[in-house]
Copies of this chain bind each other. A is one copy, B any other.
């Protein structure tokens, strides 16, 4: 979630969100550091946020706030969809979206396509709660390139969750228009896609251009926001796109929500609706 990284002293990790601003966290231990074929994967123990995963120096998740991202990426499309049975996750190697997806009683099968097997292995070891759903029988894990994988499927999925990293490194292709066309085509006619986009403070232009691309491909596309303290600026913009009119503004299903609502720490039915309220300056470029 930045373009540079560094350490201040021996026991601090700092992610510079721009060359001029950053979040600095006290660390007590380097738990893992592996250069995979795709990226530098690091796991550290922080005092304030628990265990931290970084890819190429960018914060991907911490124990303390990962639930916000995973609940909002998952339950917004899953509860807006009338009956999600077949789900695709692109990226998401930590397993956090899977943990939330398998809570849905309508689920028959979820396929996750992650390019970097080292991320999966390290998360199973260091984030056992996040990665708990890898042992679930409804979960199929494919280690491979989602861009190639997607082209094989037409009208297959109810929900697609695009949980890639930022558009640097291996995730660059996940922000191109051709990729979103393939996602659109792999969805059933009433299918929904969620996808992380960027910081409403630092990535105004990326948010505007991403939504513009989606609207050329999908029938509807909307941005929504979630409070993720360890991501740049503390709030992150996600998006929801729909093949059919009204799909992205459908009311979340209350009956299904109640089957797992006690497990949730961020998502509520009110948050689902309120998250689509955008600040005036973002609304001017993104609606």
Q: How far is the CA of A276 from the CA of B20 in the complex (A)?
A: 32
Tell me if A229 is interfacial: C-beta within 8 Å of chain B: yes
Contact of A279 among B20, B24, B271, B278 (CB under 8 A): B271
Tell me if A37 is interfacial: C-beta within 8 Å of chain B: no
A21 and B21 in contact, given A227-B234, A266-B279 (Cβ under 8 angstroms)? no
For A277, what are the chain B residues with a Cβ–Cβ distance below 8 Å? 268, 270-271, 273-275
For A148, what are the chain B residues with a Cβ–Cβ distance below 8 Å? none
Stretch at the interface among A45-53, A77-85, A109-117, A172-180: A45-53
Contact of A23 among B8, B23, B275 (CB under 8 A): B23
Q: How far is the CA of A222 from the CA of B235 in the complex (A)?
A: 22
- Quick check: A21 and B48 within 8 Å, CB to CB? yes
- Quick check: A21 and B25 within 8 Å, CB to CB? yes
Tell me if A18 is interfacial: C-beta within 8 Å of chain B: yes
Excluding A8-B8, A20-B46, 19 further A-B contacts by CB distance (< 8 Å) are: A8-B24, A18-B48, A19-B26, A19-B47, A22-B24, A24-B24, A68-B279, A201-B229, A225-B227, A227-B227, A227-B235, A233-B234, A234-B235, A261-B280, A268-B279, A270-B277, A273-B274, A273-B277, A274-B274
Pairs A-B, 9 closest by C-beta atoms: A234-B234, A274-B277, A274-B274, A20-B47, A270-B277, A20-B26, A21-B48, A20-B48, A229-B233
